[in-house]
């Protein structure tokens, strides 16, 4: 079988699989609006699909466009984001909306990557899912598929080794559906055969959440969505995670603009808010 025949056979198998087993009803697959695609892609980073669906629907209902999101207060955006984690994504999304509201949204990878919170993968996702452009896309589920089918048993496989196979097999007529199929198939492969993405040189194991700096950052944000304003001492007292991370977490959030200080409290300390 020639390489062209192998590619055609792989395409046929995958698209047939997707037609039967694909997650066709995901809400962000019912639109090509780049705003909706961006919201979904940022939410889906490090977060399971089942958790994202209700949050995505609520977010789009509250902020249906870049313009509506740009007009919102940062605290409103972060509050609605609660439950997804990685709150910086909400801030990036808000900043992006403020930058593009009322303008034509970019359609090239280079232009998209200039916007807050949009890296190489998110830019390719927007190009593929919004504009149906035949870009080269790589993420964990896609890696899983190509490692499983084309690099069985090999370890430390580089992305540069995978890319030629992605190019050869890409359905250039409908890259949108092709990448949906790859992602769904890769997700199922991980459940049935294990996470082959671990054999990629790009693989990094996610650190534990409990007891981490990330947990304390999330707690600070959650406390400020519940109480609106708190002093630094009040925040530190209420933290249930590892308090040793509090100084670094608090300083990081300040520098990132995630939390801001307002009026001084009666005890003399500044009161902090989102």
pLDDT, tens digit, 9 for 90 and up, residues 208-230: 888 999 999 999 999 999 988 99
- At 114-142, the pLDDT tens digits run 999 999 999 999 999 999 999 999 999 99
Reduced to 3 states, what is the DSSP secondary structure of residue 261? strand
Pick the CATH number of 213-273 from 1.10.10.10, 1.10.3720.10, 3.30.1480.10, 3.20.80.10: 1.10.10.10
H/E element, 131: none
Query: What is the model's pTM?
Result: 0.90
Confirm if 66 and 101 have CB atoms less than 8 A apart: yes
Angle at Cα 170 formed by Cα 166 and Cα 173, nearest 5°?
165
pLDDT top residue among 254 and 207:
254
State residue 235's pLDDT score. Answer: 93
33-131: CATH topology is: Endonuclease III; domain 1 (1.10.340)
Eight-state DSSP code of residue 231: E
Comparing CA positions, the residue from 92, 65, 91, 96 lying closest to residue 78 is: 91
> Looking at 41, 79, 139, 219, which residue is catalytic?
41
- At 2-20, the pLDDT tens digits run 777 888 899 999 999 999 9
- At 29-52, the pLDDT tens digits run 999 999 999 999 999 998 999 999
Which tokens belong to 126?
Answer: 């927007």
H/E element, 223: helix 213-227
Instruction: Specify whether 219 is catalytic.
Output: no
Confirm if 245 and 213 have CB atoms less than 8 A apart: yes
């Amino acid at each position: 079988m020639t390489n062209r025949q192998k590619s055609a056979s792989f395409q046929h198998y995958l698209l047939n699989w997707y037609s039967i087993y694909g997650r066709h009803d995901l809400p962000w697959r019912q639109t090509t609006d780049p705003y909706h695609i961006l919201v979904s892609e940022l939410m889906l980073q490090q977060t399971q699909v089942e958790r994202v669906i209700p949050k995505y629907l609520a977010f789009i209902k509250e902020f249906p466009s870049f313009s509506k999101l740009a007009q919102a207060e940062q605290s409103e955006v972060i509050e609605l984001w609660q439950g997804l984690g990685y709150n910086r994504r909400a801030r990036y999304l808000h900043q992006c909306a403020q930058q593009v509201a009322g303008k034509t949204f970019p359609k090239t990878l280079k232009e998209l990557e200039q916007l807050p919170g949009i890296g190489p993968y998110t830019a390719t996702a927007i190009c593929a899912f919004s504009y149906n452009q035949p870009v080269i896309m790589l993420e964990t589920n896609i890696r899983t598929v190509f490692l499983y089918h084309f690099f069985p048993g090999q370890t430390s496989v580089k992305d540069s080794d995978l890319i030629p196979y992605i190019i050869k097999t890409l359905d250039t007529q409908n890259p949108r559906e092709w990448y949906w199929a790859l992602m769904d198939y890769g997700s199922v492969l991980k459940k049935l055969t294990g996470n082959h993405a671990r054999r990629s040189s790009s693989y990094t194991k996610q650190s534990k959440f409990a007891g981490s700096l990330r947990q304390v950052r999330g707690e600070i944000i959650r406390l400020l969505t519940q109480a609106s304003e708190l002093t630094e001492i009040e925040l530190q007292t209420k933290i249930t995670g590892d308090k040793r991370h509090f100084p670094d977490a608090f300083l990081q959030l300040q520098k990132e603009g995630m939390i801001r200080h307002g009026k001084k409290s009666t005890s003399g300390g500044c009161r902090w808010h989102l």
